[in-house]
Chain A
Amino acid sequence: MSTYEEEHGLSRENSEDARSASVDRRETRSQFQELFQTFGNNNSEEDVDNSMLLLLLSQMIPASLQQEWMEQMEQSDKKGCSESFIDSLPRIPASKIKEDDSCPICCCTYKEDDHPLVAELPHCNHKFDLECISVWLSKSTSCPLCRDDVMSHKPGIDTSQVELEEDWGMFG
């Protein structure tokens, strides 16, 4: 968000916003300190219920800050597919590519390239330039067209088998 606003000379409102956010943060911090002192002094007296503590904390954190954290969490959660998975995507032979088929990501017809390298996603069979879909799948696991989670179908490791082996190990 900030780069956008910087680029467009919209920093004034933005910095006002940032200033009030930093005041919020300062307040939050002092409230945290108070809370910890209160609970720290009469510890072990009564076991403080964790859920109550969480509730208190969440009430003290300004909504704007909560949103920021949530977005940060979502961003760090966003992991793409492995390189080996992307490399293993089936590739479409040139003979099967129609004249006016185009890549939904770059919007160019595949045949504009003399040697188009077109990949197909497993299960939903949506097709893209390998180059284009590689970039997307390096940060996401969903098909751009149907949002199918490409990793959810991966046969991968059979976990039931792994657990079974561990059980056997315990007996042995």
Chain B
Amino acid sequence: MASLPKRIIKETERLASDPVPGISAEPHEDNLRYFAVTIEGPEESPYENGVFELELYLPDDYPMEAPKVRFLTRIYHPNIDRLGRICLDVLKNNWSPALQIRTVLLSIQALLASPNPNDPLANDVAEEWIKNEELAISKAKEWTKLYAGKR
């Protein structure tokens, strides 16, 4: 395995020494480009009191290419599909090499705080969300209790 770029080492160190509130990210022992991530559901969102597990992978081209991130914990959210893939511009066309693991995870946390069912690439959850927001929010809360309970 090629040596790890300095930037990745620095980012990893800072994630540990100066963690983002409500977010943890730890590299795997045997693959330092692969991170086990948890994000706490933001207060006053349907995901409040939930702890969501994600995985993050830094491709060989990182930071020229965005990290690959997805939810492992099931979540009912208009911008996250059933495979846990996240519809977020900074992970796709709006990636910039000046962004970091922490900024990406902060963006995902913000996405939990403000779901956007009007995103043009959203899935069927988004349709349900637009049709009946109240129902969708209660379903999101239910799923949070069901799948994202604190351990």
A residues at B contact (CB < 8 Å) = 1, 3-4, 7-8, 13-14, 17, 63, 67, 70-71, 74, 78, 104-108, 132, 135-136, 139, 142, 144-145, 147
In the complex formed, the residue of A with least CB distance to B100 is A107
Task: Tell me whether A107 and B121 are in contact in the complex, defined as CB-CB below 8 angstroms, given that A7-B57, A145-B98 are known contacts.
Answer: no
Q: How far is the CA of A13 from the CA of B83 in the complex (A)?
A: 8
In the complex formed, the residue of B with least CB distance to A4 is B68
Task: Tell me whether A67 and B121 are in contact in the complex, defined as CB-CB below 8 angstroms, given that A8-B57, A144-B97 are known contacts.
Answer: yes
B residues at A contact (CB < 8 Å) = 5-7, 10-11, 34, 55, 57, 59, 63-64, 68, 83, 85, 92-94, 96-98, 121, 123
Q: How far is the CA of A7 from the CA of B7 in the complex (A)?
A: 22
Task: Tell me whether A145 and B96 are in contact in the complex, defined as CB-CB below 8 angstroms, given that A4-B68, A105-B63 are known contacts.
Answer: yes
Q: How far is the CB of B72 from chain A (nearest CB, A)?
A: 10
In the complex formed, the residue of B with least CB distance to A104 is B98
Residues of chain A contacted by B68 (CB below 8 angstroms): 1, 4
Residues of chain B contacted by A1 (CB below 8 angstroms): 68, 85
Q: How far is the CB of A148 from chain B (nearest CB, A)?
A: 11
Q: Is the CB of A105 within 8 A of B98?
A: yes
Q: How far is the CA of A8 from the CA of B97 in the complex (A)?
A: 24
Residues of chain A contacted by B96 (CB below 8 angstroms): 142, 144-145, 147
A-B contact pairs, 16 of them (CB 8 A): A1-B68, A4-B57, A4-B68, A8-B55, A8-B57, A13-B83, A74-B92, A78-B93, A105-B63, A106-B5, A106-B6, A107-B6, A108-B6, A108-B7, A136-B64, A145-B98
Top 9 A-B residue pairs of the complex, sorted by shortest distance between their CB atoms: A144-B98, A104-B98, A107-B7, A144-B96, A4-B68, A105-B97, A144-B97, A145-B98, A106-B7
Residues of chain B contacted by A13 (CB below 8 angstroms): 83
Q: How far is the CA of A90 from the CA of B113 in the complex (A)?
A: 42
Q: How far is the CB of A124 from chain B (nearest CB, A)?
A: 12
Task: Tell me whether A74 and B97 are in contact in the complex, defined as CB-CB below 8 angstroms, given that A1-B85, A8-B57, A13-B83 are known contacts.
Answer: no
Q: How far is the CA of A107 from the CA of B98 in the complex (A)?
A: 9
Q: How far is the CA of A108 from the CA of B64 in the complex (A)?
A: 15
Q: How far is the CA of A136 from the CA of B97 in the complex (A)?
A: 8
Residues of chain A contacted by B85 (CB below 8 angstroms): 1
